[in-house]
Amino acid sequence: MLPGKLLLPLLFLALASAASQTIALPDNGHAIQLGEDGKINQTFIANTDYMYCFLTFTVVPGDQNCSDNADIVVAAPDSRAVFSLKQHYGKEAWVSYGQFLGRWDEEEPINLVIQSQTAESNSSSVCWPVIDNLLLKSIPKLIQGNSNLLLNEGFEYGPEFPSNSTDGILIDPAQSPVQSPLQEWSVLGTMKFINSKHFFVPHGNAAIELLLVAPTGIQTAASLTEGSTYDLGFKLGDANNSCAGDFVVAARAGSTLQNFTLLSNGTGSSKEFLMKFRADSGLTLISFQIYTTSQTKDGALFDIGFAPLRSWID
Ligand SMILES: *[C@@H]1O[C@H](CO)[C@@H](O)[C@H](O)[C@H]1NC(C)=O
Ligand SMILES: *[C@@H]1O[C@H](CO)[C@@H](O)[C@H](O)[C@H]1NC(C)=O
Ligand SMILES: *[C@@H]1O[C@H](CO)[C@@H](O)[C@H](O)[C@H]1NC(C)=O
Ligand SMILES: *[C@@H]1O[C@H](CO)[C@@H](O)[C@H](O)[C@H]1NC(C)=O
Ligand SMILES: *[C@@H]1O[C@H](CO)[C@@H](O)[C@H](O)[C@H]1NC(C)=O
Ligand SMILES: *[C@@H]1O[C@H](CO)[C@@H](O)[C@H](O)[C@H]1NC(C)=O
Ligand SMILES: *[C@@H]1O[C@H](CO)[C@@H](O)[C@H](O)[C@H]1NC(C)=O
């Protein structure tokens, strides 16, 4: 079965105030601000054919210069995630986040709750977040095809892209590859999910950018034949967002570890790399981590485009 997607528009309910007009908003300029104890809650029905649910939402800090932004808590029956607005990653005033919401087998009603949260006792100094552009997407469980031993190898399955987002979608760390916005991959550090509409992408419609803010990487597991030799092929590139530099990416497959360097001038190019390895166990962990920590003069972040990944029997 070909993985598909289903988009459900969400409506807002309860306890939220209209956003201040002085805040720059994406799209048509309407959003809601979650004030103190502000909460929106909507129930949707999971479709049994599309069990894995992802949420994309866009958030604008209530005040651009605020040092005390309230957090946003997104909760569904199988998940609860807290998003903080501490670091700014893009060029827009707003950021879009992607999250894995859960997987549901039955046609059960799912409550999606988004609320503000602060640890600050004096709420008058807190800036309350503005929420916009909620997109819900679901896909069936990914099934391994004949041509590739990895699932979601081209990073095509993840949260939906807002139609007008030129900044990509931020993905927070996710330990479990199943409960990950980037299906089948664990995520170490914050990364960006980007699409070919607004970025240079080496293959397909989407790719990930490993942001050089902290150790960033991804990891998956492949069922291989112990003792057999495999090729791990992947493309590294820059997303055509002016980030130039030398990027070192450490690839690991089982006990085989090798560094690859990409010389990038930031104008949108990619290069294919190959690593041979022998599977030293049936279940082999495959991971990529970026090491370079240099930053541009203006403090912008270096990014790296990264897709697709192939692995096949030698
Ligand atoms: C996206 O941007 C285009 C051009 O700026 C605009 O015409 C369109 O209305 C926007 N789409 C949405 C959903 O706001
Ligand atoms: C969300 O709405 C549902 C249905 O009205 C309700 O059962 C649930 O308790 C609400 N959840 C929260 C956290 O308010
Ligand atoms: C935010 O800070 C910048 C630089 O310090 C300043 O130019 C701008 O006016 C401030 N904006 C607001 C809304 O206070
Ligand atoms: C709360 O913060 C506001 C604004 O920063 C300040 O004027 C006020 O005195 C504070 N109140 C308390 C009880 O600390
Ligand atoms: C890869 O590069 C990192 C950072 O420079 C270094 O710490 C690590 O030892 C290198 N690994 C290999 C296998 O060369
Ligand atoms: C940047 O790199 C690409 C690919 O290596 C190359 O084709 C292009 O000419 C380079 N551009 C500049 C300005 O150096
Ligand atoms: C990079 O972006 C520039 C300016 O937006 C565009 O003209 C160019 O075609 C892009 N290059 C690639 C390889 O996507």
pLDDT (tens place) for every residue of the chain, 314 residues total: 223 333 333 333 223 333 333 455 566 668 889 999 899 999 988 776 778 899 999 998 887 778 788 999 999 998 999 998 877 777 778 889 999 999 887 778 889 999 999 988 888 889 999 998 899 998 888 888 777 888 998 898 999 998 877 888 999 999 999 999 999 999 998 889 999 998 888 888 899 988 876 678 999 999 899 999 999 988 888 888 777 777 888 999 999 999 998 887 888 888 889 999 999 999 999 999 987 655 554 556 677 777 666 665 54
pLDDT at 159: 94
Q: Which of 255, 291, 292, 293 to mutate to test the pocket of ligand 5 (most atoms within 8 A of CB)?
A: 291
pLDDT at 178: 92
Domain covering 6-141 assigned CATH 3.40.50.10860 in the classification: no
CA 267 to ligand 7 centroid distance, Å? 7
Q: Annotate 117-149 with b (16+ C-beta within 10 A) or e (fewer).
A: bbeeeeeeebbbbbbbbbbbbbbbebeeeeebb
Task: End-to-end CA distance of the chain: give it in Å, rounded.
Answer: 27
29 ligand 1 Cβ < 6 A: no
The binding-site residues of ligand 6, defined as CB within 6 angstroms of any ligand atom, are: 265, 267, 269
pLDDT at 314: 42
State the number of CA atoms in the 13 A half-sphere of 19 facing the CB.
22
Atom 14 in ligand 4: residue holding the nearest Cα: 122
Same fold, 6-141 and 156-314: yes
- What single letter denotes the amino acid at residue 227? G
pLDDT at 21: 36
Using CA atoms, how far apart are residues 188 and 205, in angstroms rounded to an integer? Answer: 22
Atom 4 in ligand 6: residue holding the nearest Cα: 269
- What single letter denotes the amino acid at residue 127? C
Which helix (H) or strand (E) segment is 284 a member of? strand 283-290
| pTM of the complete model | 0.85
Put the strands of the sheet holding 256-264 in their side by side order: 186-188, 216-223, 283-290, 245-253, 256-264
Residue at token pair 């528009």: 9
State the pairing for strand pair 95-103/169-171: parallel
Which helix (H) or strand (E) segment is 238 a member of? none
Q: Which of 205, 241, 267 to mutate to test the pocket of ligand 7 (most atoms within 8 A of CB)?
A: 267
pLDDT at 309: 67
Domain edges within the chain = 6-141, 156-314
Looking at domain 156-314, its CATH superfamily turns out to be: Galactose-binding domain-like (2.60.120.260)
Q: Annotate 271-308 with b (16+ C-beta within 10 A) or e (fewer).
A: eebebebbbeeeebebbbbbebeeeeeeeebbbbbbbb
**Are 55 and 101 spatial neighbours (Cβ–Cβ below 8 Å)?**
yes
- Residue 260: how many CB atoms within 10 A of its CB? 16
Residue at token pair 């670091």: 87
φ and ψ at residue 125, rounded to 5 degrees? -95, 0
